[in-house]
Amino acid sequence: MRIKRLDITGFKSFMERSVFTFDEGVTGIVGPNGCGKSNVVDAIRWVMGEQSAKNLRGRGMEDVIFNGSENKPPLSMAEVSLTFIVDDTDQLAPQYQGFSEVTVTRRLFRNGDSEYLINKTLCRLLDITELFLGTGVGTKAYSIIEQGRVGLIVSSKPEDRRHLLEEAAGVTKYKARRKAAERKMEATDANLLRVTDITNELEKRLDALSRQAKKAEKYKKLKARMRDIDLHAATHRQLELMAEKKMLQSRLENLGSEERESLDRVKELEETITRRRTELEAETAALQALAAEVHTLESSLQRDTQEMTYGKRDLEETRARVAAAQVELDGLLARKAEMSEAMAAREAELSGIAGSWKEDEVAMQVAQEELRRVSQLQTEVALRLEQERAGLVAVATRLANHESNLVNLARQRGDLGARRAKLQGELETLRAQEQTLENVRGDVAKRVEDTRHLAAELAERKGQEEDALTRTRAAFTENEIEVIALREELSDKRSRLSTLEDIQKNYDGFDRGVRAVMTRAGVQAREQGIFGLVADVINVTPRYERAVEAALGERLQHVIVESRDKGVELVDYLKGHAEGRGSFLPVPALDTLPAPLEPDFSQPGVLAHALREVTCEEALTPLVQLLLGDVVIVQDVATARAWTESGGPACTLVTVEGEVFRPDGTIVGGESEGAAVGALQKKREIAELATEVARVEERYNEILTRHYTLQKQMGHAEGVLKGLAKNQHAEELNLASQEKDLHKAGEDLARVRERVRALEVEEGQLTQSHQALEHEEEASRGEVAHGQADREGREERVKQLVSEQESLRLRAETANGELTGLRIKVAAGSERGESARKELDSLVSQRQDMETRITRLQATVVEGGARVEELARRTTDTEGGLSQRAEEHRLAAEGLEARRAAHTTASAEVREQDATFRELRGRVDELMQGLSQISLREREIALELEHLAAGIRERHQVELANELHKYHMLAALAPETEAELKDLRAQVEKMGEINLTAIDEHAELSKRYDFLTAQKKDLQSSIEQLKEAIQRIDATSRERFKQTFDVVNEKFQAIFPRLFGGGRASLILTNEGPGGEPGVEIVAQPPGKKLQSVNLLSGGEKALTAVGLIFGIFLIKPTPFCLLDEVDAPLDEGNVGRYNDMVKEMSKQSQFILITHNKRTMEVSNTLYGVTMEEPGISKLVSVRMREAGAANDDKVTAA
């Protein structure tokens, strides 16, 4: 595959259609700078799919469209077509292998639209990219090398340089497939996430529907079990209660007899106990008085005994304390004499130490004064030395500054001269730029104004569209809320209607016989002579539903039949199939019925005649008259009583709350439970719900239609708004870019003008500065001479002060040694004197304490003797009175014990009689309580039997007594069975509304869930397959890259010496980069140099190295063509020759297109195209066939 032709129209500077025809070999494109040569390269890159405006040397992609010139207006479109000749060896996609030529076309319109075509057929950018994959041709392949990219090849990162070898190895198409697989895997992951979300939601719904379906099935089973368990339990409970009642009657008789006997014995014993208790109370009082007297004597005796004991103990302790004090006093007097002698010795020692210490202290003061004088001299010398040294440093610093200033001043004078010359040249250039910028700013300002006008129009239209979209969104939101509310309302009503219809259809809550008959008849009941239940055929005014239900009672579930014979037939059916019981009403003839009652509505509280508030089909009117002809509806119980008491006609009165007063005096009321309760209300509710469901469905469909309409309008509006926003954004970007250009032009112009003024001012300043520098340089030379003389004088003075400082240091060390010895001696004497003084002070303190203690002990001995005499006298007096009180206490205690024994015997007898009385009294209470409990239990049994029968009657419409024969022979239900019945009732009550359609919905949803689960598994399998494919692609890419790298390295090592005339170079794989792939490093050693990195080479060496690498790649993977844009620019004459030799050699395998200024490179071209710009801003083309020109010795020039 090679390039046959390049057509350019409206692309950059090529306003008119220009056609480049490329033959085999080398084609050169030449022309002066700025004529548009490189636009040919940009056109080829652009048509092959380049998407970066920056790589095309523009700010935006619209910059590639011809933008006009001074005499030509801008064009609205750019188009480039590139035609290839295809042969059988080209590895193109299957759809292109049958063509001899393939033309790739790209168009761009100024409104932003673009088109891609292959062989004049619209296609995608992806199709063009895939067309060139693996061929070495492409926007980023090594087939197109510009001058800038030559340097980029050698200076780029190793990871970026790797892309060249990947293109040669054909790895790019694998990477494209890998990216496609990754994108597909991302999309599959997203699909898997969505499917997972849906399946999770379905799982929740399945759980809910599963519970509802199970609930519906459970509801059906519960009703079938309840009646049998209830009747079985009730009959056995009735038998138990009757047996218990009989047993209680027998016990009641026995307990009555025992109670009467116990009461007689209790009365007799109570009189005896009362008499004995009176006698015992008198004896108890006397006993208590005697006990008090004995206690008084005993307390006095104990007090005297204790007092004598304490007196003796105190006497002994006082004697012991006096003796101990006397012993201690004798010892203290002896120690006091010894202590006086020790104090005299310490006072003599202290006097001798004080004399010696004063002599040493005087000598130490003399030594201190000497050391102070030496230290003062040292300080003075050190201060003067520091001052001299600081002055020396300051002088040296000033001298160095002046010397450095001289050097700087000389350099500044030289710089000023060079700067003045440069300023003059720069001023001339800036004045020319100022005029050019004035023209550019005018052009840009006009374009900015046009763009602003267009952007304002787009902004106004966008605002209008946004307002319309806001209104549409608000309406859509309101509509969506209404749709959701109606959907929920419709779902609730449908569910309720379905439940009620199912209950009505299955006759839930009615007698088993009724359900059996109606279920058997089915939809053909009329054909079989069955009109339905009373509750089904009548319609009642809602206000009086409860009253009519109460009046009819169980007759609401009576089956209406056409004749008596039909009723008998159905009874036989129920008996024959054991399907329970049922009531049947034949339709009577109207003439056989008495006239209906005409109530007096003038009476207060009389509301209506029930017959007038009920409607039915005409054929059943006689039946309704039979049932309700004598029923009058009144306000309340008081009205019914007033009717009866006033002698009103005999009839059935029913209040609006449901209390019934029958002619025979029966009154029915309270809260009812049973099948008939609410039957009319449910029937009416079904009819109302059906109407309401139809109404809501109609409204829902209307709202849903509007919902879809608004959604469609909103989508359209969003599309329009998006387009406007895109156009507005493009214009805003264009305006911003133009305003930026205008601002930049203004800034550039101002900057140039300011620069001109600044340079003019600077030129004058430079002249003045030059003169000032000369004067300053002369002054600095004088300062240097004066500083050198001052430095020498200060250095001499510093030496003298250092010597004097050393002498003073030696004197100070000697004086300090003497002072230290004297200080040690004085400190030792002071320490001995202090120790002696402390011992003397301690002896004085001890002597004072001892004298104080002696005084206290002498007082203790005197006081103790007096205390001993007093205690001895008191002890003798107490012993005499103690003997007399002990005898009195003994006699009183003996009398108390005798009276207490007699009282104990009497008390025991009374307690024994009292215990017997309490026992009899308790027995009487037990008997009375037992009789009361038995009577209460009898009443409870009677009430329970009544309630049991009533409950069975209400729940099952049978008399319990009539059911005994069916169950009395069966075993009683286990306790858990009775609990089961209660549980069944509770479950039915708690179940609430039943969704009987849940079973079918659950099956349908399960089917969908299984389907989505299978889809989920398929998606997971697809992801695994894509991962495996990516692994295979990675492995193939690594293998092909390694093979190509080794071959390219070998070719590069061979080509490098040919291009450089010697030396060596190689490619090295680096460690893995950020992308996980190794980079490619180039190491080169030109002739005569050391081996080094290419970044250290010169510009020409870098270019030649890059060319060597490109040619090395070409040798193993030639591309259909190679475009080199001024690659030879940095090469010298010798290198250009070797470069051209390689190009001619390589052109045998590939088609070469060279853009160059070098004459020697032009000579190797077979065809030479010249690009000129005769008219400013517009490129034109001329061509020369070099072979024909050489053969005819003629420059054959033709317009292309």
Question: What's the token pair of residue 32?
Answer: 């002066």
Looking at the DSSP bridge assignments, the partners of residue 1168 are 28, 1184
Is 37 annotated as a binding-site member? yes
What are the structure tokens assigned to 244, written together? 């218990």
Token pair belonging to 253 = 């008789």
39 annotated as belonging to a binding site for a ligand: yes
Residue with tokens 């003839």: 589
What does the alpha-carbon distance between residue 553 and residue 533 come to, in Å, rounded to a whole number? 13
The annotation status of 38 as a binding-site residue, yes or no, is yes
Residue 654 parent element (H or E) = strand 652-655
Residue 837's nearest CA partner among 352, 362, 364, 359 is 352
What is the distance between the alpha carbons of residues 169 and 1042, in angstroms, rounded to a whole number?
9
SS3 at position 1168: strand
Structure tokens at 27: 């084609």
Asked if 507 and 519 touch (Cβ cutoff 8 Å), the reply is yes
Tell me the backbone φ, ψ of residue 585, rounded to 5 degrees: -120, 115
Q: What is the DSSP letter of 544?
A: G
Question: Does 33 belong to an annotated binding site?
Answer: yes
Residue 404, annotated ligand binder?
A: no
What is the enclosing helix (H) or strand (E) of 395? helix 171-506
**Cβ pair 574, 517 in contact under 8 A:** yes
Residue listed under structure tokens 């005798």: 898
Task: Give the distance from CA 220 to its chain's centroid.
Answer: 46
Phi, psi of 362 (to 5 degrees): -65, -45
Burial of residue 1116, with CB atoms counted within 10 A of its CB: 0-12 exposed, 13-18 middle, 19 or more buried: middle
Indicate the SS3 state at residue 1076. coil
Consult the annotation and say whether 35 binds a ligand.
yes
> Can you say whether the dihedral through the CA atoms of 441, 52, 6, 81 is positive or negative?
negative
CA distance 378 to 375: 5
Establish whether 1095 is an annotated binding residue.
Answer: no
Query: Using CA atoms, how far apart are residues 1141 and 1164, in angstroms rounded to an integer?
Result: 9
Residue count (the chain) = 1200
Output the DSSP codes for 573-638. HHHHHT-----EEEPPPGGGSPPPP---TTSTTEEEEGGGGEE--GGGHHHHHHHHTTEEEESSHH
| Residue 34 known to bind ligand | yes
Are 159 and 1074 in contact, with CB atoms under 8 Å apart?
yes
Q: How many CB atoms lie within 10 A of CB 255?
A: 17
Structure tokens at 541: 């005014």
Q: Which of 274, 269, 279, 271 is nearest to 919 (CA)?
A: 269
User: Which residues belong to the annotated binding site?
Assistant: 32-39
User: Which residues belong to the annotated binding site for ATP?
Assistant: 32-39
